[in-house]
Amino acid sequence: MPDDVRSETTWRKSARVTADSPPAPSAQAHLPPDSFARAIRQAKALSDGRPVAANLLMPFTREGHVRACLEERPAVVSVFFGYARSAVKRLRAEGIFVFHEVGTNEEALRALADGADGLIAQGREAGGHLLATRPLAEALPDIAALAAGRPVVAAGGIHDRASAERAARLGASGVSAGTRFLLTTDSGAHPTYQQRLLDAKSTLVTKLFGAAWPADHRVVPNAATERWCRERADGPSWMIAVNTLLVPTRWVTSPASKQALAKYQRANRPFFSPQPMTARSAPGDADVTPLYAGACAAEIHALRSAAEGGSLARASAGGQRGSCRPPSRAAAPACRRSFRRHGRSPNRRRRPPQVGRFPCFRSRIASSASAS
């Protein structure tokens, strides 16, 4: 889910989850470019040499965010909710492994044509903003087949070993667990946000919190959805039309202004931004901000430590295609070829990526809602 703001506390705790954890996304492109670069540096400093990933959330990505990735060189960059062929090419040229999150076969083909090294296959069960139109069990096998040996990470409804193993059987090389990691003692999420998710009996797909970003998103119901989504889950059609007219404003508004806007939202005022609660939010903001969560929120009833959540990574890969462990910069070109050819590149003597574990990525929702 692409709507979190990470904090120093979150990075410090998540960086220590497990000594061989796959990369956890560490910085979001809806931070200002200088804060984004600082977030990557800080995550790298706290990771004890383990890989660090960064997310390019395309509706809010600027040239400065791409340049920050090129200069700070995270091991992995994930791209979500848009395309940037030139950026993908530049990142790969610097040895950065690029994942692209997709929800349909058409999006997968476009991402692969743009040069993505791997795909994140989103199912409709995912929390936050949705690209998927089908459940993960239907979408994942098709996307894995299209990937032709490149790694495919499953996202949507992954919250325990059983769901991770189901994804492995469907062709996933790894999993992206969001809600489960938001509901940890280490996530840095607002306690009221966490409690609302723990108490949730269901989730709702809506467009209500769509000012300047009128796309489907999955949330836990609150006072705002009860007021405006009774007759139509998406919210009033006129509200969606207004939100659509506001799309150009996201190119000129700052992250700080989006956070400030949330302070003025009220359940009886039909204007809601995509900005979620942060650690600095008032508890009452839970009724007027999006409580992003996957459908699996209804199955999670207690907080755990991030290390316990990391036990998802111990689900067996069972010989699945590809690997989600990012290569070193020097080995990246050979690794890309080996992903595609299922073996050693004839032009390199480096070993191809190994599939010794079933990686579990802490996804964008994982450490949600703490302001930097």
The residues facing 144 across adjacent strands are none
Q: How many C-beta atoms surround the C-beta of residue 254 within 10 A?
A: 10
Cα–Cα distance measured from residue 310 to residue 261, given in angstroms and rounded to the nearest whole number: 35
pLDDT, position 342: 35
What 3 state SS string does 275-321 have?
Answer: CCCCCCCCHHHHHCCCCECCHHHHHCCCCECHHHHHHHHHCCCCCCC
Max mean pLDDT range (2-16, 146-160, 255-269): 146-160
The rounded percent of the chain whose pLDDT value lies above 90 is 58
Give the fold, CATH level 3, of 8-184+306-362: TIM Barrel (3.20.20)
The yes-or-no verdict on residue 52 having pLDDT over 60 is yes
pLDDT, position 32: 85
The rounded percent of the chain whose pLDDT value lies above 70 is 73
pLDDT, position 27: 58
Q: Does 358 or 218 have the greater pLDDT score?
A: 218
The yes-or-no verdict on residue 360 having pLDDT over 60 is no
Whole-Å CA distances, 42 to 98, 111, 127: 21, 29, 27
Eight-state DSSP code of residue 250: G
Domain ranges of the chain: 8-184+306-362, 204-292
CB 292 within 8 A of CB 272: no
As given in the structure block, the two tokens for residue 125 are 């069960």
pLDDT, position 312: 61
Task: Encode pLDDT of 320-339 as tens digits.
Answer: 445 444 444 444 443 343 33
Q: How many C-beta atoms surround the C-beta of residue 43 within 10 A?
A: 27
pTM, rounded to two decimals? 0.80
The yes-or-no verdict on residue 174 having pLDDT over 50 is yes
In sequence order, what are the residues at sequence separation of 6 or more whose Cβ sits closer than 8 angstroms to the Cβ of residue 112? 119, 146, 147, 150
Task: Encode pLDDT of 308-320 as tens digits.
Answer: 765 565 543 444 4
CB 125 within 8 A of CB 114: no
